[in-house]
Amino acid sequence: MVLMYRSNGNFEAFGRPLKPEGVDGRKAYFVGAGLASLAGAVFLVRDAQLPGSQITIFEELTLPGGSADGILDEHKGFIIRGGREMEAHFETLWDLFKSIPSLDTPDATVLDEMYWLNKTDPSTNPVRAIQNRGEHIEHMPDLTLTPKAVQEILTLALTREEDLDDKRIDEFFGEEFFASNFWLYWATMFAFEPWASAMEMRRYLLRFIHHIATLADLSSLRFTRYNQYESLIKPLVAYLEGHGVTFQYATQVLDVLVTDQGGTKTVTEMKLLVGGTTGGTEGEAGGSAGLTNGGEEQTIAVAPTDLVFITNGSITESSTFGDNDNPAPIVTDRGGAWALWKTMAERDRAFGRPEKFSEGIPEANWTISATVTLTDDKIAPYIERLTGRDPRSGHIITGGPCNIKDSSWLYGFTMSRQPHFAAQDPEKELIVWLYGLYSDKPGDYIKKTIRECAGWELTAEWLYHLGVPVDEIDDLAKNSASTIPCNMPYITSYFMPRAAGDRPLVVPEGSTNLAFIGNFAETVRDTVFTTEYSVRTAMEAVYTLLKVDRGVPEVFASSFDVRMLMNALYYLNDQKPLHEIPLPFGGRLIEKAALAKIKGTYIEELLQDARLI
């Protein structure tokens, strides 16, 4: 019997698996058309060699992509709920896209296109954070961690994951840590808040230890040519449609029935609501709402040899949109992703505890983002003054977020390469994305909470922090920009404090034909809120259920590489060699004795390469 295994190295990465036994005659069903399902369908076609005609993807919305969106709405204009920060060591993501033809670059894959683009226009962030209305923060290249704060990081990193059930970040860190540039950069890059899961924080520290050196300029990030929908989702859909995969939209999966006989779990039936109306509240962009009413209930009998892959939960469910003059409506608990997971978990706790993620989310969280379309040349000069880059150059502008340290919302913005949409004319339109991590406090210029703000007010708050003269702000926000607010009540639900068992295993114990995929499924070592996690869980699900004899690329092992650890130590202490790092007298004596012992050895060479001596 072939069991799913993880591997590293080119032998497994470049190899193509043989067709597994028992594939022929099977059918596969995916619940949701987000990145995890699209990736899973590709792995079925490419690696398991299941004909695409045997695969059906059910999606309750009217378009694919899930949270990886980017649309030109005929009524509202350009809309992106968020962006995707990728890096060189998203091993399964690049394994996927090495096989997907680009829709924009002839005779190239999506990976080729991204590789070439990021070689000719590498990403860097010239201004990671500002304060005092447009001034660069002090000591921007440094992480400004005190010895106590560094020790707190090491303590959490060395804690066993099983000892972190339901622990919060602020149970491990004090005021000195939260006052540091490290926390400012870390929190705003990954969307962490003090109340978030210490377990997930630890995973991030270990997973991305190789990024500590670049937190201040984000030069390790990789970005697509356009928004993630056009650059990633559309090529995946084209590939799958070309292989005969069926996409069934406006279809909500109401229930998935699983029998459990002696610990063996098998899906036998799926209940659907087909053709219900989408939309439902004024202010929602097309395709963003869940099914609300109408439609026809249908039942699908699932054979024991058929496969069911479920994306459980959703960070963008119940998203709503406002416009320049109206805030985004606040709506919760609509749509199928949470409802299906709750229904299944009530019958079998092996399927997780969705309430741990969807309920009790603190008020001090991120829920609002906004897409700003600049419609003339009056605001762009302030961006160029701040970044030193021409927004119409076609090159990276902010290279990730620029955040405002003294903003009560912990506000931030990012400006990707322009055009950010294929249909955008960068000579006439520029796209900026805004977000704020704290939704429970009034703004510094607009004296409302971020949830209460219309689009122009969100832009006005941003312009205030850019240093635009106060008497010009309102006019520019109303007449030189069109801003679409988006409220996402579950956007930080990935980070809720959790315990073992709160997320179902990718393939639950005893399952013969059921898998959970996406960021609310449980796999080892990897981190949520990433495209990599979506793709990894999909690959593990397919390889496990169909016994594909090829290694799933393991999570990049930076935390096991002594060179990476030494490099992190150097940057955590603001690029100081060992003799400048504060130590107690006894520790200094030990350091001197140890350095004497390693003189002339390979260890000394490693320390020198890391600039620690």
Is 70 exceeded by the pLDDT of residue 17?
yes
Report the pLDDT value the prediction gives residue 290, as an integer from 0 to 100.
45
In a domain, 195, yes or no: no
User: 487 - beta bridge partners?
Assistant: 320, 368
In a domain, 483, yes or no: yes
User: 309 - beta bridge partners?
Assistant: 30, 515
Report the pLDDT value the prediction gives residue 83, as an integer from 0 to 100.
87
Is 90 exceeded by the pLDDT of residue 530?
yes
Classify residue 274 by burial, with Cβ atoms within 10 Å: 0-12, 13-18, 19+: middle
Report the pLDDT value the prediction gives residue 394, as an integer from 0 to 100.
96
In a domain, 469, yes or no: yes
Same domain, 253 and 400: no
User: 251 - beta bridge partners?
Assistant: 274
Beta strands in 68-225 (DSSP E): 71-73, 77-79, 86-87, 129-131, 135-136, 221-222
Round to whole Å and give the CA distance between 308 and 542: 10
Q: Which pLDDT band holds residue 179 (cuts at 50, 70, 90)? A: very high
Which two three-digit tokens encode residue 190? 């990954």
Residue with more model confidence, 606 or 334: 606
Is 90 exceeded by the pLDDT of residue 423?
yes
Q: Please say whether the beta carbons of 558 and 89 come within 8 A.
A: yes
Spell out the residues 6+ positions from residue 110 whose beta carbon is closer than 8 angstroms to its own. 97, 100, 101, 102, 231, 232, 235
Q: HSE, CB side, 13 Å, CA atoms: give it for residue 553.
A: 19
Is 90 exceeded by the pLDDT of residue 219?
yes
Classify residue 49 by burial, with Cβ atoms within 10 Å: 0-12, 13-18, 19+: middle
Same domain, 271 and 351: yes
Tell me phi and psi for residue 428, to 5 degrees: -115, -25
CATH code of residue 250: 3.50.50.60
Q: Which pLDDT band holds residue 286 (cuts at 50, 70, 90)? A: very low
Is 60 exceeded by the pLDDT of residue 556?
yes
In a domain, 26, yes or no: yes
Same domain, 542 and 562: no
Same domain, 466 and 407: yes
Same domain, 509 and 603: no
Alpha helices in 105-180 (DSSP H): 110-120, 147-158, 175-178
Q: Of 85, 91, 317, 457, which residue is the catalytic one?
A: 85
Q: Which helix (H) or strand (E) holds 181?
A: helix 181-190
In a domain, 203, yes or no: no
Cis omega (within 30 of 0) on the bond before 426?
no
Spell out the residues 6+ positions from residue 78 whose beta carbon is closer than 8 angstroms to its own. 70, 71, 72, 371, 373, 420, 421, 424, 429, 431, 484
Report the pLDDT value the prediction gives residue 589, as an integer from 0 to 100.
65
Q: Is the pTM of this model over 0.85?
A: yes
| Number of domains making up the chain | 3
Same domain, 394 and 472: yes
In a domain, 184, yes or no: no
Same domain, 408 and 293: no
Q: 487, 510, 539 — which closes off a domain?
A: 487
In a domain, 377, yes or no: yes
CATH code of residue 391: 3.30.9.80
Euclidean distance between the first and the last CA atom of the chain, given in angstroms as a whole number: 51
Q: Please say whether the beta carbons of 495 and 503 come within 8 A.
A: no
pLDDT digits (tens, 9 = 90+) for 290-332: 445 578 999 999 999 999 999 999 999 999 999 999 999 998 7
Is 60 exceeded by the pLDDT of residue 155?
yes
CA dihedral sign, ordered 539, 543, 549, 554: positive
Classify residue 139 by burial, with Cβ atoms within 10 Å: 0-12, 13-18, 19+: exposed
Same domain, 347 and 367: no
Q: Please say whether the beta carbons of 518 and 534 come within 8 A.
A: yes
Single-letter amino acid code for the residue at 70:
G
Same domain, 375 and 461: yes
Active site residue 509: no
Round to whole Å and give the CA distance between 358 and 498: 12
Is 70 exceeded by the pLDDT of residue 371?
yes
Is 60 exceeded by the pLDDT of residue 333?
yes
Q: Of 204, 494, 570, 571, which residue is the catalytic one?
A: 204
Q: Please say whether the beta carbons of 508 and 350 come within 8 A.
A: yes
Same domain, 383 and 480: yes
In a domain, 524, yes or no: yes
Report the pLDDT value the prediction gives residue 468, as an integer from 0 to 100.
98
Is 90 exceeded by the pLDDT of residue 62?
yes
Same domain, 253 and 334: yes
Q: Which helix (H) or strand (E) holds 298?
A: strand 296-301
Q: Please say whether the beta carbons of 532 and 92 come within 8 A.
A: yes
Find the domain containing 595 and state its range: 558-609
Q: Please say whether the beta carbons of 330 and 375 come within 8 A.
A: no
**What DSSP string runs through 244-261?**
T-EEE-SEEEEEEEEEEE
Q: 510, 528, 549 — which closes off a domain?
A: 549
Look over the chain and give the mean of its residue pLDDT values, rounded to a whole number.
94
Q: 516, 531, 549 — which closes off a domain?
A: 549
Which two three-digit tokens encode residue 105? 């670059």
Q: Please say whether the beta carbons of 577 and 542 come within 8 A.
A: no
Same domain, 311 and 388: no
Report the pLDDT value the prediction gives residue 280, as an integer from 0 to 100.
35
Active site residue 464: no
The residue-averaged pLDDT of 513-533 equals 98
Tell me phi and psi for residue 267, to 5 degrees: -70, 135
Q: Please say whether the beta carbons of 433 and 484 come within 8 A.
A: no
Is 50 exceeded by the pLDDT of residue 289?
no
CA angle centred on 42, ends 36 and 44, rounded to 5°: 100
How many Cβ atoms are within 10 Å of 525's Cβ, its own excluded?
A: 15
Tell me phi and psi for residue 8, to 5 degrees: -140, 170
Is 70 exceeded by the pLDDT of residue 246?
yes
